[in-house]
Amino acid sequence: MRDLQSRGIRDKRVLEAMRSVPRERFVEEALRAEAYNDAALPIGEKQTISQPSTVARMAELALPDGTGKVLEIGSGSGYGAAVLSCLFELVYSVERLPVLSRRALGTIRELGIHNVHFKIFDGSYGWSEFAPYRAILVTAAAPEIPKPLVEQLEEGGRLIVPLADPRNPEQQTLTRSVKRGDALETESLGACRFVPMVGRYGMPK
């Protein structure tokens, strides 16, 4: 994680957020010596905490300026939400697995972070109650951009989502879309690797 700049991360806000959030608090004690390696680590429930460079890149793609609301789909360990808490005024994070959501909430509060709110739900539906959002970050690979997330994005807002080929789920591309009226302007940003999205708008079973 100490070489994020060499991996292409340039946003000073993002770099400072990555420095300020203690990643070791979001992994099991046995893995804490590996917390700052640029690698994904298991967090239980067949899920992982993304590698630091991926968390930083997705945050940077959201173009944070310290204001606005951001929605995260897939709370996982809560690490990504903690980073986003330094970059947006309010963070809303949805997780379908209760044990992960409750653990993430506990860690976040222990760190004194109070601008992050969690919900246990099918994340592919988003969290419409607090829409629209300045940015939406999806931490699992979907077969296509979920329509509810587009609807919950504000005009000019950014939607960052990894898209996977349903026939070959390991073939994934990171995308960023910008909402322009009723349309999305989408750009592909290269190969990536995420767990599959599960839910109404997730990968087919």
Would you name the residues annotated as active-site residues?
50
Closest CA to 122 of 143, 149, 102: 149
Q: Are 85 and 91 in contact (CB under 8 A)?
A: yes
User: At 41, phi and psi to the nearest 5?
Assistant: -130, 150
Q: Is 106 exposed, middle or buried (0-12, 13-18, 19+ CB in 10 A)?
A: exposed
Closest CA to 144 of 190, 54, 185, 204: 204
Q: Interior CA angle at 90 toward 86 and 116, to 5°?
A: 80
Q: Which helix (H) or strand (E) holds 81?
A: helix 79-85
**61/24 Cα distance (integer angstroms):** 24
**76/49 Cα distance (integer angstroms):** 7
Preceding omega of 132 cis (within 30 degrees of 0): yes
